[in-house]
Amino acid sequence: MFDLQGKTALVTGAGSGIGAAIARLFARRGAAVAAAALDAAAAQRMASKIMESGRTAAAYQCDVSKPDSVDALFRAVAAASPRLDILVNNAGIAHVGTIEQTTPEDLDRIYRVNVFGVYLCARAAVPVMLRQGKGVILNMASVAALVGLPDRFAYSMSKGAVLTMTRAIAVDYMKRGIRCNCICPARIHTPFVDGYLAANYPGREAEMMKTLSEYQPIGRMGQPDEVATLALYLCSDESAFVTGQAYPLDGGVTAV
């Protein structure tokens, strides 16, 4: 089950965290992985680790907020493989603040990466998948798209847009072989979290880690590999009957 042999999977934001976990797992399941990241060195490190394990991967630098960069990415992937079976729109950035604390520049920055970037990549992938007659797009939304989170105005806006884009794509293309779903994680323990705590709560990292962990009723943050496992299901043929869905992976946040 969950065999991706012979498939090509493009994962954005693959340099670390959730994207890296997805890239590694998909490669272990047989996919040829195109690992894209804003940081070219991070993408190359990830691709190199995959290749060291005897799997197939290639690294690409891409700023998903820029049309020219996305076009260049998809041209490069197409030159390496005639197929694009899976697109994982994982690249994204965060922002902390209420609407009063969110400047127009903040909102535009979040929109350009988290919303416009998903649009650009999906828009580039759809024609390829239509020519093939099938394909899967998986977007990374957030529990912030499902419930209200304090001090996450811009981030919540962007992830709500990702959820509705997911459903729109699913409805438009479900009869033409393309499935589209999204994952809505609660807090996942990634290097971003560690960096955020170090920058904003120096000397109080352990205390704040406990606070952030306890937000999830299950009592901890999720792990990138747990997100990757759900991503594998949603991008495999075992989920062929699933499209247009938003999957909470939230440690019980939406259950209480």
Residues 203, 149 within the same domain = no
* 211 shares a domain with 139: no
Same domain, 194 and 119: no
Pairwise CA distance, residues 243 & 234, whole Å? 9
pLDDT in tens, 6-61: 999 999 999 999 999 999 999 999 999 999 999 999 999 999 999 999 999 999 99
Is 250 part of any domain?
A: no
Sign of CA dihedral 22, 28, 32, 35: positive
Closest listed residue to residue 44, CA positions, set 74, 69, 65, 23: 23
Please indicate, yes or no, if residue 253 is contained in any of the structural domains.
Answer: no
**Residue 225 pLDDT:** 98
- The C-alpha atoms of residue 87 and residue 92 are separated, in whole angstroms, by 15
pLDDT tens readout for residues 185-212: 999 999 889 988 898 889 999 999 999 9
In a domain, 118, yes or no: yes
CATH of the domain at 159: 3.40.50.720
Which amino acid type is present at position 73?
A: L
Q: Are residues 112 and 163 in the same domain?
A: yes
Could you report the per-residue pLDDT of 116-171, keeping only the tens digit for each? Answer: 999 999 999 999 999 999 999 999 999 999 999 999 999 999 999 999 999 999 99
| CA 146 to centroid of chain Cα atoms | 17
Nearest residue to 179 (alpha-carbon basis) of 133, 146, 143, 120: 133
User: Which of 59, 91, 78, 68 is CA-nearest to residue 8?
Assistant: 78
Cα distance between residue 118 and residue 131, in whole Å: 20
Q: Kindly state whether residue 37 falls inside one of the protein's structural domains.
A: yes
Question: Which among 155, 173, 196, 215 is annotated as catalytic?
Answer: 155
Residue 78 lies in a domain: yes
Structure tokens at 134: 């099938």
Write out the H or E segment, with its range, that includes residue 135: strand 135-140
Is residue 71 domain-shared with residue 161, that is, in the same domain?
yes
Please compute the mean of the pLDDT values over residues 215-233 and round it to a whole number: 97
Domain contains 195: yes
Residues 78 and 200 in one domain: no
What range does the domain containing 203 cover? 190-221
Domain match, 89 and 203 both: no
Strand-pair partners of 58: 34
Residues 6+ apart with CB under 8 A from 63: 38, 69
Cα–Cα distance, 133 to 142 (Å, whole number): 29
Whether 155 is catalytic: yes
Could you tell me the CA-to-CA distances from 54 to 30, 33, 66 in Å, in that order? 10, 12, 33
Compute the distance between CA of residue 181 and CA of residue 31 in angstroms, rounded to an integer: 19
Same domain, 173 and 113: yes
Q: How many CA atoms lie within 13 A of 3 on its CB side?
A: 3
Residues 73 and 161 in one domain: yes
Q: What is the pTM of this model?
A: 0.96
d(CA 70, CA 117): 8
Whether 239 is covered by a domain: the verdict is: yes
Any domain includes 3: no
